[in-house]
Structure formats: structure tokens, C-alpha cells
């Protein structure tokens, strides 16, 4: 058994929390009560959770515009996140960041990021800090297939190799960068081999298989903690929703999403594996699902009831002092 029972249950709880959070947001956004953009992570849960299963609160991650899953996986408060997405004053960022900017330094979550490719340079900086501080800590950045084409990401990978930083570049290849296929936009055969070209260990795994991600991330995180420098992991996955909520997804063949929900379902894969191996009983997993659904219900009702920011908040937090 690669993980203990409690760890397996915790991983499943996180993946289910992400799935339920996102599926519920899909409904809530359609109600019109959530302003702005929402980019949902449903389908990719095994990536965020497989990686963060190796990280503590004082390890860091940098995330993307599709960041809810990374936040939940890193331990951000689900109710605080929901309030933030609803633009509430007691949301995780006081209603000033919203879906695309959720951050929580106390959990080592350096921020979702609305700029594609914005996160890896920041992650490299956090890795410079922990390397200097001798903390033995690791920083992981998450980037999509779209972000993998940004120059900022190339710069960050090269700098990480030059300075042999304790960092892991996770590439989540969900098949589409915005409304354009990765097959078209990623010029190399795959993203992992391109990362390897920068001089780091890189591998490609099935991002719908929690255990495959967990094992690859374990190798990379261990390498980083032991001073072996950066690594990259490309996780092939899918997203069950559009680039953003409201995206008509005309670039996807009819039936693709339904087919992916059946064939590329990391939760179903997880259940199948732990049942087959007799690691966990189905009723334990069912109990987790019931518990998570009630948490998400509570998050939505608390977020709906929470107060909006005060207008005085408009001009605070720009500077520490000015």
C-alpha cells in the first residue's frame, strides 16, 4: 500500500471536495449570483492532490487561473474560498481577489494567478528563499498546457536548473489552452520532453490516476528536498467544463466531455483501485462523499449570507504604508 488508510482517505476527501466544490460552482455561477470569471478544475483533481500529498503547510505552491483545486489541495479553508468567490468581506482575500486570486500564505499557497505563465517565476523565487533559509522546503508550480508555451515559464525553468532550486514544475495538460487544442499549440511532441531539454528530470504520467501522480511527485519532491534540483512532471488530464463558465466549447467534439467523464475520471479510478486492492471499504468512501456534500452546502449558504465588503475597503491594502 503506497499510503496509509488515513492518508488515502484524506486524499480522497480532498479530491471529492474539489469535485463537489466545482460542480456546485457550475450551478451557482449559472444562477447569476457570482460575478466575473470562474475557471473550474473538475476532472483534474488527481493532479493537485497527488502533488500536494507530499507537501506541508510551509512548502509552497504557485497556481493558475484554474486554481480552486490547488487551493483546496493545499489546505485553504473551503468556506473562506467560497466566500471569496462570492465576493464577500470575510472571504479568504476580503473579496478583493475573487476566484482568480485566492491565496493563503499560512498554507503556503502563493496565489492563483490570472496571468497564464505568471506563477512559475514566483515559485522559483520562493525556492530561492527556502534554499537560502536552509529550510529543506519545496515549491511546486502548476501550469497548464497553454502556460507551458509562455516565455516566463521557460525563463523560470532555466533559472531553476542554473541555481539547482528545490522546485517542481507540474504541467497539467488538459488538452486545451483557452479555446485552442494543445495538439496544435504545443509545438514539441510533449511538454515533459521540452522541460527535460532545460536540463531537469522530467516524466509524463496519467493525470487521471492519483497513484501515478503521487508516485511521480514523490520522486520529484524527494529529489528537491535532497538538494537534487528541479524536476518536471507532465500530467495528461481533461477538464469537464469550459475554459471559463459560460464558454460554449465549440472547439470540442459533441460528446467529448461525457466520454471523458466516464473514461477519464480520477475519482472513479481511485475508488476502483482502493476497492480492488482492498485498501478501503466502499462505505468509508461513501461516508467521505456525504460529509463533503454537507460541507459544500454549508459553504454556499454561509457565502450567500455573508456581508459584502464595506466601501471603505476600496482603498485599503494597496500599501503597507504610504
Partner 1 sequence: MKSYREAINQTLAQEMRRDDSVIVLGEDVSGGAGGSSGKRDAAGGVFGVTAGLIGEFGEQRVIDTPISESAIMGAAGGAALAGLRPVAELMFADFVGVSFDQIFNQMAKFRYMFGGKTTTPVVVRLPTGAGMNMAAQHSQTIYPFLTAVPGLKVVIPSNAYDAKGLLATAIRDDDPVMFFEHKALYPRKCEVPDEDYTINFGEAELVREGDDVTVVALARMVGFAEKALDSLAAEGISADLIDPRTVSPLDEETILDSVENTGRLVVVDESNPRCSVAADIAAIVACKGFHSLKAPIKLVTAPHTPVPFARELERAYVPGPAHIAAAIKEVLQ
- Which residues form the interface with partner 1 (CB under 8 A)? 60, 62, 91-97, 101, 103-105, 110-111, 113-115, 118, 120-133, 139, 151-152, 155-156, 158-159, 162-163, 316-322
Kindly tell me which of 208 and 232 has the beta carbon lying closer to partner 1.
Answer: 232
For residues 163 and 165, what is the distance between their CA atoms, to the nearest angstrom?
5
Kindly tell me which of 11 and 153 has the beta carbon lying closer to partner 1.
Answer: 153
Kindly tell me which of 32 and 151 has the beta carbon lying closer to partner 1.
Answer: 151
Kindly tell me which of 31 and 321 has the beta carbon lying closer to partner 1.
Answer: 321
Give min distance, CB of 200 to partner 1, in A. Answer: 15
Give min distance, CB of 22 to partner 1, in A. Answer: 21
Give min distance, CB of 142 to partner 1, in A. Answer: 14
Give min distance, CB of 173 to partner 1, in A. Answer: 22
Kindly tell me which of 10 and 163 has the beta carbon lying closer to partner 1.
Answer: 163
Give min distance, CB of 258 to partner 1, in A. Answer: 36
Residues 6+ apart with CB under 8 A from 321: none
CA-angle at 76, arms to 114 and 264, nearest 5°: 70
Give min distance, CB of 245 to partner 1, in A. Answer: 20
Give min distance, CB of 9 to partner 1, in A. Answer: 30
Kindly tell me which of 153 and 288 has the beta carbon lying closer to partner 1.
Answer: 153
Kindly tell me which of 124 and 274 has the beta carbon lying closer to partner 1.
Answer: 124
Kindly tell me which of 258 and 313 has the beta carbon lying closer to partner 1.
Answer: 313
Kindly tell me which of 91 and 207 has the beta carbon lying closer to partner 1.
Answer: 91
Q: Which of 102, 93, 33, 28 is nearest to 297 (CA)?
A: 28
Residue 75: how many other CB atoms lie within 10 Å? 17
Residues 6+ apart with CB under 8 A from 303: 79, 82, 83, 85, 86, 88, 91
Give min distance, CB of 178 to partner 1, in A. Answer: 17
Give min distance, CB of 293 to partner 1, in A. Answer: 28
For residues 83 and 29, what is the distance between their CA atoms, to the nearest angstrom?
13
Amino acid at each position: 500500500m503506497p499510503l496509509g488508510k488515513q492518508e488515502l482517505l484524506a486524499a480522497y476527501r480532498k479530491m471529492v471536495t474539489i469535485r463537489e466544490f466545482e460542480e456546485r460552482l457550475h450551478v451557482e455561477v449559472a444562477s447569476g449570483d457570482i460575478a466575473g470569471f470562474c475557471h473550474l478544475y473538475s476532472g483534474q483533481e488527481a493532479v493537485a492532490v497527488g502533488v500536494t500529498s507530499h507537501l506541508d503547510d510551509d512548502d509552497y505552491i504557485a497556481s493558475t487561473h484554474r486554481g480552486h483545486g490547488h487551493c483546496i489541495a493545499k489546505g485553504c479553508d473551503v468556506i473562506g474560498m467560497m466566500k471569496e468567490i462570492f465576493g464577500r468581506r470575510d472571504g479568504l482575500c476580503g473579496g478583493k481577489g475573487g476566484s482568480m486570486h485566492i491565496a493563503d500564505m499560512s498554507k503556503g499557497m502563493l496565489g492563483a494567478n490570472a496571468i497564464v505563465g505568471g506563477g512559475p517565476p514566483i515559485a522559483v523565487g520562493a525556492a530561492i528563499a527556502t534554499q537560502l533559509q536552509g529550510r529543506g522546503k519545496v515549491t511546486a508550480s502548476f501550469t497548464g498546457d497553454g502556460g507551458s508555451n509562455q516565455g516566463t515559464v521557460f525563463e523560470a525553468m532555466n533559472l531553476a536548473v542554473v541555481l539547482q532550486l528545490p522546485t517542481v514544475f507540474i504541467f497539467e495538460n488538459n488538452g486545451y489552452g483557452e479555446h485552442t487544442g494543445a495538439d496544435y499549440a504545443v509545438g514539441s511532441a510533449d511538454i515533459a520532453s521540452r522541460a527535460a531539454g532545460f536540463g531537469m528530470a522530467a516524466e509524463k504520467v496519467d493525470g487521471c490516476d492519483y497513484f501515478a501522480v503521487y508516485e511521480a511527485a514523490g520522486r520529484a519532491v524527494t529529489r528537491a528536498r535532497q538538494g537534487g534540483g528541479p524536476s518536471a512532471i507532465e500530467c495528461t488530464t481533461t477538464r469537464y467544463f469550459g475554459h471559463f463558465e459560460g464558454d460554449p466549447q465549440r472547439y470540442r467534439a459533441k460528446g467529448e466531455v461525457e466520454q471523458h467523464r466516464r473514461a477519464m475520471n480520477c475519482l472513479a479510478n481511485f475508488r476502483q483501485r482502493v476497492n480492488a486492492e482492498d485498501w478501503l471499504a466502499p462505505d468509508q468512501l461513501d461516508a467521505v462523499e456525504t460529509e463533503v456534500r454537507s460541507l459544500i452546502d454549508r459553504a454556499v449558504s454561509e457565502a450567500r449570507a455573508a456581508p459584502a465588503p464595506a466601501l471603505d475597503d476600496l482603498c485599503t491594502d494597496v500599501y503597507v504604508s504610504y
